[in-house]
Amino acid sequence: MIEAVRGGISNGDKLYLAGFTHLIPFAAGHEIIRQELRGLDLVRSTPDLIYDQLIAAGCASKVTFS
């Protein structure tokens, strides 16, 4: 996950992490927080816990929900 996030996500990217209930991508979200990515434009059809965590960690500059 460390390499996937490092190689696939940059500061300021628009990001859509999808999954419902047991499929929410917590590992990816937590790695984004660990790598201290900033300025992310988070997009999601319905808000979930990992987006709350990304916002609280200061990773998001914008969020768009349905």
Give the global pTM.
0.92
> Residue holding tokens 């987006």?
51
pLDDT band at residue 47, thresholds of 50, 70 and 90?
confident
Number of domains in the chain: 1
pLDDT band at residue 59, thresholds of 50, 70 and 90?
very high
Cα dihedral across residues 63, 31, 9, 19: positive or negative: negative
**Domain range for 42:** 2-65
Segment 42-54 shows an average pLDDT of 90
- Give the C-alpha separation, 63 to 43, whole Å: 6
For residue 41, give every residue at least 6 positions away whose Cβ sits within 8 Å of its Cβ, in sequence order, or none. Answer: 12, 13, 14, 15, 60, 61, 62, 63, 64
Segment 29-44 shows an average pLDDT of 97
pLDDT for 54 beyond 90 = yes
